[in-house]
């Protein structure tokens, strides 16, 4: 009996210990479960708070998405001055541009290979996304977070937004605004509209904006004449146009051209033959003269672009004549007296027509994209400029002892029978510079004896007192009060001859 009681007591004790351990385990798991559930709820609540806060933060930029309108963007456009040459054809004499040298070109004028070059380099999924390339954006964001930097993730639409708004600050707020604006822009305009606007606004070095101006500035061509190789040069410089343009850095420009061509080839935008031909194409740059945006072009460019202007000389030119042969029209190097006068006249006309100050009218001329056609006879103007440049064509004085410093100045204006000014010169000797003092139009001096044909002889002819062949006695007359009149500048009274 005692053994049986002892066994029962032992079993009860074991069960009691087991129940106690079980309760302990349940308690531990209960605490862990409660803790985990609490943490989970905290995370959920935190995520909700963050999500709501982030949504509120982001949505405050949504309104700014509607302030971009491609149709109402104030742009600067280059103005042109034209005149007829000896063949009667209108030719371009001068381009006037302000801070932004831009020539707008419609999409129909832009070659497909030029469009493809920019798309291949800047945004290969341009025709697929809706304003933002999310895959590229996420990759760049992660790279920036972990590496501190990332390659550009902006699409062509986003770049267009930045070019229009001028908002290029490196901040999260700016990027969010840019994304909203890009998404909105894609809902309101077609891909063709967006690409056309981008190609006309993209900065391409210095004051050059858009492919229209760049085609002329770098190659002396209109945009529809650009080859695949030339298009790749323009597309390749977009990352840093002030550094990667061929006038600033030939080596890097060539590298970027080859990169652009490789992108076009890999994306199936050009054939193998086109790719190989473009890589070795002889690209002829439009050389620019001293005083222009970049100064003289680096003569080594033939080494990188296969140009045929090199010679045995170390500087790449045979002699001065070789260099001169590659200069653009001389009218662009320095505007002549006539162009000076025309610019001043247009500024004056704009000032009167639009109620502007002189400074405002000048800015309007240089940014308004005007086309100005002159009555100038280019052949006569050239001869007149040449004649006035040589002081030997003018005498100093009747006094043989006069010195050269006493050389009088002069001006000349020639009109046709319809009253159109066809040539003018504003001074003797070398023209000091563009926009200098023009005696033909700006010298407000007493008219002196030039008034005699109008005030005296003309009226005498009109009243039949004299004819065009009447001889005039060069002598003063005595007035009733006894004085002699008129007298010459030197104080004498003429020679007394007819």
Question: Residue 318: pLDDT band by 50, 70, 90 thresholds?
Answer: very low
Start-to-end C-alpha separation, the chain? 177
C-beta separation of 283 from 230 below 8 A: yes
Radius of gyration of the CA atoms of the chain, in A: 40
What is the percentage of the chain residues whose pLDDT exceeds 90?
35
pTM of the model: 0.64
Q: What is the mean pLDDT of the chain?
A: 79
Tens-digit pLDDT profile for residues 215-252? 998 998 999 999 999 999 999 999 889 889 988 888 89
| Assigned CATH for 97-281 | 1.10.3810.10
Which pLDDT value is given to residue 165?
A: 81
Average pLDDT over residues 154-175: 82
> 379 — phi, psi (to 5°)?
-65, -45
Tokens read off for 287:
């050389």
Whether pLDDT at 423 is above 60? yes
Query: DSSP of 182-237, one letter per residue?
Result: HHHHHHHS-HHHHHHHHHHH-B-STTEEHHHHHHHHHHSS-GGG--HHHHHHHHHT
C-beta separation of 178 from 161 below 8 A: yes
In the chain, domain spans:
2-59, 97-281, 337-443, 446-498
Tokens read off for 371:
């086309």
The CB density around residue 249, as the number of other CB atoms within 10 Å, is 17
Looking at per-residue pLDDT, the higher value among 328 and 94 belongs to: 94
Tens-digit pLDDT profile for residues 181-195? 888 888 889 999 999
- Give the CB-side neighbour count of residue 105, counting CA atoms within 13 A: 27
Tens-digit pLDDT profile for residues 444-485? 877 777 788 888 888 999 999 999 898 887 778 888 888 888
Average pLDDT over residues 314-331: 32
Which pLDDT value is given to residue 272?
A: 95
Looking at per-residue pLDDT, the higher value among 253 and 408 belongs to: 253
What is the percentage of the chain residues whose pLDDT exceeds 70?
74
Range in 253-257, 330-334, 398-402 with the lowest mean pLDDT: 330-334
Tens-digit pLDDT profile for residues 60-115? 555 554 566 677 666 788 899 999 888 888 888 888 887 777 889 999 999 999 99
Whether pLDDT at 322 is above 90? no
């Amino acid at each position: 009996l005692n053994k049986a009681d002892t066994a029962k007591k032992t079993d009860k004790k074991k069960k009691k210990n087991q129940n106690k351990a079980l309760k302990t385990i349940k308690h531990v798991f209960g605490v862990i479960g409660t803790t985990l559930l609490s943490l989970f709820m905290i995370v959920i609540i935190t995520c909700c708070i963050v999500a709501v806060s982030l949504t509120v933060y982001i949505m405050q930029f949504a309104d700014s998405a509607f302030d971009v309108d491609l149709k109402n963007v104030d742009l600067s456009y280059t103005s042109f001055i034209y005149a007829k040459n000896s063949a009667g054809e209108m030719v371009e004499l001068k381009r006037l541009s302000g801070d932004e040298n831009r020539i707008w070109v419609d999409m129909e004028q832009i070659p497909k290979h030029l469009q493809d070059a920019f798309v291949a380099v800047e945004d290969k999924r341009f025709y697929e996304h809706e304003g933002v390339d999310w895959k590229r954006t996420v990759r760049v964001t992660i790279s920036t977070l972990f590496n501190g930097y990332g390659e550009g993730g902006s699409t062509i639409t986003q770049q267009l937004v930045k070019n229009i708004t001028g908002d290029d600050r490196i901040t999260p707020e700016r990027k969010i605004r840019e994304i909203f604006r890009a998404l909105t822009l894609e809902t309101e305009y077609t891909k063709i509209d967006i690409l056309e606007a981008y190609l006309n606004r993209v900065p391409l070095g210095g004051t050059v904006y858009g492919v229209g101006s760049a085609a002329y500035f770098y190659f002396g061509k209109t945009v529809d004449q650009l080859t695949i190789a030339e298009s790749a040069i323009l597309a390749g410089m977009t990352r840093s146009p002030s550094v990667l343009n061929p006038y600033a850095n030939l080596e890097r420009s060539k590298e970027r051209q080859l990169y652009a061509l490789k992108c076009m080839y890999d994306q199936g935008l050009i054939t193998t033959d086109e790719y190989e031909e473009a890589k070795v194409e002889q690209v002829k740059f439009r050389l620019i003269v001293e005083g222009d945006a970049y100064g003289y072009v680096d003569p080594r460019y033939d080494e990188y672009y296969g140009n045929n202007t090199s010679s045995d000389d170390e500087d790449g030119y045979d002699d001065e004549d070789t260099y001169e042969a590659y200069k653009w029209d001389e009218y662009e190097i320095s505007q002549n007296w006539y162009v000076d006068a025309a610019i001043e006249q247009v500024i004056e006309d704009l000032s009167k027509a639009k109620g502007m100050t002189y400074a405002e009218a000048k800015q309007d001329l240089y940014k308004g994209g005007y086309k100005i056609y002159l009555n100038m006879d280019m052949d006569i103007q050239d001869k007149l400029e040449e004649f006035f440049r040589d002081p030997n064509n003018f005498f100093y004085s009747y006094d043989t002892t006069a010195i050269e410093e006493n050389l009088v100045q002069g001006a000349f204006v020639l009109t046709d029978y319809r009253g159109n000014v066809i040539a003018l010169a504003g001074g003797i000797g070398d023209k000091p510079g563009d926009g200098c003092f023009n005696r033909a139009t700006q010298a407000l001096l007493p008219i002196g004896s030039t008034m005699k044909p109008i005030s005296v002889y003309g009226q005498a002819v009109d009243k039949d007192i004299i004819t065009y062949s009447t001889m005039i006695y060069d002598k003063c007359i005595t007035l009733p009060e006894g004085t002699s009149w008129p007298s010459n500048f030197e104080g004498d009274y003429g020679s007394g001859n007819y």
